[in-house]
Amino acid sequence: MQRRIPEAIAGLRLAKAHDPLYFFTATYLGWALTQAGEHDAGIAELRRGLELEPNALPPLTFLTFSYYSANRPDSAAVFARRLAVASSIPVRLGGSAFVLARIGHREEAEALVRRLEALPAGTWTRSSSLAFGYLGLGDTTRALAAMERAAATDGDLLITYLGVLAGDLWSSPRFAAVLRRFNLDPARMGGHAVAPASSSQWLTYYHTIVMVNHMKTTLNIDASVMARLKREAARQGRTMSDLMETALRLLFQAPRPRAPARPLPELRSGGHLVEIADRDALYQAMEGR
């Protein structure tokens, strides 16, 4: 966020040396290298992150925008389509629509926007994602309307996308009004220190929240267990997430062992008064005769 890219790359390389199998490190390092203009190295690292965790959406999202930033529209289109198929999350669809529209695949982008429009009005991030898709299509009127809807409710995570969405809207009074809804000063936001020359310079803001949104749950696992998990995943040629999910499914499906039944209580009754099979004698005993 502070654009201290060289420091970020150095720190991420240290993290990679410490744990070369963590896909998030590869993903962030790849994006940082791309931001530094090292597109080939960055994309290679992002692809490594995707290989480490093939089902993860963050590296797929970063690859989509990295190819777009590197002006490689064919590859950007391939990953934008993969992203749209892999996830129904509004944020992902909006991002795919933005990229596809900007590289000339307008019909596909419009189809994704229609999917977003078909979502229930109260779907979280729907308005922000529509703003993203509309802006990609060059429809600033509808993009601003979607942003205003988001700002009028709980924010819809719009604040995290304002950098990307701002690219073509700095001179719009309606956009300035949206900024004020979040207690942001349009004059300072539009100043030379932070105003983007193009929306592509603000993609880092989008990716930061995409990464955060994708995180589901943090598990505290003992380091020795994690080390064994990594070794076993490498041995089987599988991802750690896949191996962990398999283990959990087996745990939940396995029948739970039952504890042995406690012995029934015993007591000495002093012997039988009558033969209980003799109903007449039994009733006489009960009546005290």
DSSP state of 183: T
Tell me the two tokens of residue 20. 């070369």
The letter for the amino acid at 253 is Q
**Distance from C-alpha of 211 to C-alpha of 61, rounded to nearest angstrom:** 9
Which residues of the chain register pLDDT less than 50? 1, 191-202, 204-216
Distances (CA, A) of 195 to 65, 70, 173: 20, 21, 16
**What does the CA dihedral 92, 95, 96, 100 come to, rounded to 10 degrees?**
180
**Homologous superfamily in CATH for domain 1-87:** Tetratricopeptide repeat domain (1.25.40.10)
pTM over 0.75: no
Q: What is the CA radius of gyration of the chain?
A: 30
Residue with tokens 């963050």: 58
DSSP H/E element including 110: helix 106-118
Query: What is the separation of C-alpha 158 from the centre of its chain, rounded to a whole number of angstroms?
Result: 16
The number of residues making up the chain comes to 289
Q: Which two tokens stand for residue 170?
A: 């700095």
What's the burial of 191, exposed, middle or buried (CB within 10 Å: 0-12/13-18/19+)? exposed
Q: How far is CA 210 from the centre of its chain?
A: 6
Give burial (CB, 10 Å; 0-12/13-18/19+) of 268: exposed
Q: Residue 208 has what pLDDT?
A: 42
What amino acid is encoded at 189 in this protein? M
Residue 32 near residue 5, CB atoms below 8 Å:
yes
Query: Six-digit token pair at 126?
Result: 């729907």
